[in-house]
Chains A and B, each alone.
Chain A
Amino acid sequence: MAARRVAITGLGIISPLGLNVAETWAALREGRSGIGPIKSVDGSKWGLKIQNGAEVRGFDPLKHFTGGKDAQLDRFAQFSVVAAREAFRDSEIQLTPALRESSAIVCGSAVGGQASIEAGFEDLWVQGRGRVHPLTIPKTMANAGASHISMDLGLSGPVYTISTACSSANHAMGQAFRLVRDGQADLAVTGGSEAIFTVGMLKAWEAMRVISPDTCRPFSKDRKGMILGEGGAMLILEPFDAAKARGAKIYAEICGFGMTSDAHHLTQPTVDGPARAMRGALTEAGLAAEAIGYINAHGTGTPGNDPVESRAIREVFGAHADKIGVSSTKSMHGHALGAAGALEAVATVMALHHGILPPTANYNERDPECDLDYIPNQPRAVQVEAALSNSFAFGGLNAVIAFRTARS
């Protein structure tokens, strides 16, 4: 079968910027940050130093799950299902028995439901109880989000989860793109979700000394690190021709995917690995470097990532790098780890769809080590032809997705 074009026909998101696509995009296009004091975790008893995060606020599981089902899903899986439902509704696709069986679900998550097993460990070792909650295992498993989407929407084709730390969602969406492109699936629900606000996980991040004491200032000279986030986002992918035939709204196309590894260091990035991933995405998409007008950067706001990513972009794009708007929306929704690429895919797709590039918020001061156009603080109204979204993970795993505006 010849390679098929892949259309994005539905979007769903729960993020620190809002509980759906409309709320989240409204914040992104205004450069409004969802970062603030952490309220869901009280770590004072354990001397927790991390004060600020990007939490999903106002999410009530009982509005989405009845009959006690809410207690069967870890928060990360609740995000998966609710985001998938929004994306599915948005796509307005009508399922047939055959389509259900050829629908794929590929999700990313870095830590899955580890909050649930942490609660079990607390029962055992802190509270001294002799037992843990009986659903600890199915709530903790990393595939819970994908499995619950499958049961919720009745999709029975290939369903799996990819866990590659901060690149998880990009790896997942890249795989889903190829399943649809190559004719192995006629519909895909894909994205990522993460929920990491627990004392144990915050203490583990604190120990890595990469968390900013105030906010996330990607590419700004005074940046002090990342801000943890949470949430979930899902995309509906379909063959372009099928989407067009049924008159679907097409937000954009996924047209390429590049993945590489650094083979270098657990936490220190290289220029070469990310550069090769960006080139790979361009090559697969059949896009000239000059077609790219926007890059949603990995842009963690750490001293280490931002200059290296900037150099990688310059290496790939040369002089054209100065003509690309590069922003890190982590400055607004925080770093949602295995969900990051999915949140950023929604930002990138909406940027292409509306012709508005979301800014890098909290940007104060130019860093000579970061010499690109970071769309500081103010969104930019410009219709670009194509965009990349970068995700680079601990362990040196790089995943880049290429999007382009939907052409007829």
Chain B
Amino acid sequence: MSDAVADKVISTLAQVKRIPAETIKLDTNLQEMGIDSLDVFTLLFELENAFKISIPDDDVRSIKTVNDIVDGIKKLLAAAPPDASVGSASPAN
């Protein structure tokens, strides 16, 4: 089943970790795949830009799997329209 939010989360995660998207599943545990706190910060930054949302710090602490991120983003999108003030910044390499 196609899920645009899940697809975007997975493709962004793949880009951040420089790994193929096919290796990432919804139930993949972030810690087990070697995602550390710095990777999470970068991932959330990219996702905030992609979905034009602002993810509160409190929501971040409970993230364990890819699906936790997808669910969280869906809730934020349902609760409020996209935050137009958030631009589409790219990481400063």
| A265: Cβ under 8 A from any B Cβ | no
Stretch binding the partner chain, chosen from B3-11, B16-24, B61-69, B74-82: B16-24
Residues B37-83 near A (CB distance < 8 A): 38-39, 41-42, 44-45, 48
Q: Is the CB of B34 within 8 A of A133?
A: no
B89's partner among A70, A71, A72, A133 (CB-CB below 8 A) is A133
Residues of B within 8 A of A212 (CB): none
Q: Is the CB of B85 within 8 A of A130?
A: yes
In the complex, residue of chain B having the shortest beta-carbon distance to the beta carbon of A131: B89
| A408: Cβ under 8 A from any B Cβ | no
Give A125-140 as 1s and 0s: 1 = Cβ < 8 Å from B's Cβ atoms: 0011111111110110
Residues of B within 8 A of A62 (CB): 18
| B93: Cβ under 8 A from any A Cβ | yes
Give the residue among B18, B34, B45, B89 with the most A Cβ atoms within 10 A.
Answer: B89
A136's partner among B39, B88, B92 (CB-CB below 8 A) is B92
Chain A proximity of B18: nearest CB distance (Å): 5
7 new A-B contacts, CB < 8 A, other than A68-B18, A131-B89, are A67-B34, A120-B92, A127-B87, A129-B86, A133-B89, A135-B38, A135-B42
Q: Is the CB of B42 within 8 A of A129?
A: no
Give Cα distance in the complex from A66 to B16, angstroms: 11
B residues bordering A, Cβ < 8 Å? 16-19, 34, 38-39, 41-42, 44-45, 48, 85-89, 91-93
Give Cα distance in the complex from A393 to B39, angstroms: 38
A residues bordering B, Cβ < 8 Å? 62, 66-68, 70-72, 116, 119-120, 123, 127-136, 138-139
Give Cα distance in the complex from A138 to B34, angstroms: 19
Q: Is the CB of A131 within 8 A of B41?
A: no
Q: Is the CB of A133 within 8 A of B18?
A: no
Known A68-B16, A71-B16; contact A131-B93, beta-carbon cutoff 8 A: no
Chain B proximity of A213: nearest CB distance (Å): 30
Residues of B within 8 A of A138 (CB): 38
In the complex, residue of chain A having the shortest beta-carbon distance to the beta carbon of B13: A68
10 cross-chain CB contacts under 8 A: A62-B18, A67-B17, A119-B93, A120-B92, A123-B89, A130-B86, A134-B38, A134-B45, A135-B41, A139-B92
Residues of A within 8 A of B92 (CB): 116, 119-120, 123, 132-133, 136, 139
Q: Is the CB of A127 within 8 A of B18?
A: no
Chain B proximity of A56: nearest CB distance (Å): 15
Q: Is the CB of A70 within 8 A of B18?
A: yes
Q: Is the CB of B42 within 8 A of A71?
A: yes
Chain B proximity of A62: nearest CB distance (Å): 7
A133's partner among B42, B85, B86, B87 (CB-CB below 8 A) is B42
Q: Is the CB of A127 within 8 A of B41?
A: no
Residues of A within 8 A of B45 (CB): 131, 133-134
Chain B proximity of A24: nearest CB distance (Å): 25
For the complex of A and B, 6 pairs with smallest distance between CB atoms: A119-B92, A129-B87, A134-B41, A133-B92, A68-B17, A129-B89
Residues of B within 8 A of A134 (CB): 38, 41-42, 44-45
Give Cα distance in the complex from A131 to B93, angstroms: 15
Give Cα distance in the complex from A136 to B42, angstroms: 10
Give Cα distance in the complex from A222 to B82, angstroms: 61
Chain A proximity of B9: nearest CB distance (Å): 15
Q: Is the CB of B42 within 8 A of A68?
A: yes
A130's partner among B16, B34, B41, B87 (CB-CB below 8 A) is B87
Give the residue among B41, B86, B91, B92 with the most A Cβ atoms within 10 A.
Answer: B92
Give the residue among A62, A130, A136, A138 with the most B Cβ atoms within 10 A.
Answer: A130
Residues of B within 8 A of A139 (CB): 92
Chain A proximity of B24: nearest CB distance (Å): 13
Chain A proximity of B37: nearest CB distance (Å): 10
Q: Is the CB of A66 within 8 A of B18?
A: yes
A67's partner among B19, B86, B88, B89 (CB-CB below 8 A) is B19
Chain A proximity of B19: nearest CB distance (Å): 7
Chain A proximity of B90: nearest CB distance (Å): 9
Residues of B within 8 A of A120 (CB): 92
Residues of A within 8 A of B89 (CB): 123, 127, 129, 131-133
